[in-house]
Amino acid sequence: MTLPKFILGDNTKFPKAIFVVHTEFPRFIINLENDEVEWLEEFDKEDQKELEKETETAIKEASEFYDKEVASYEND
């Protein structure tokens, strides 16, 4: 199965939360309500600097993805 890079999710137990799942390395789920990140990967300490840079970009892309998705719903 081919997955999109980002998946939008919500849950009734967290009514204010908006989750974006990043399905490519480094995989994570971000809660856009509070920017909390849950990692779906385990990292070596040597890789941490490189991953911090990649992650910063991926989190920015996740926020942009959400904004585009919401805009498409509003335009329908």
**Model pTM?**
0.80
Which residues lie below 8 Å from residue 3, measured CB to CB, with a gap of 6+?
23
C-alpha to C-alpha distance for 61 and 30, rounded to whole angstroms: 11
9 pLDDT band (50/70/90 cuts)?
Answer: very high
12 has pLDDT over 90: yes
pLDDT at residue 76 in the model: 63
pLDDT tens digits for range 17-66: 999 999 998 889 999 999 898 988 887 777 777 777 777 888 899 999 99
pLDDT of residue 13: 96
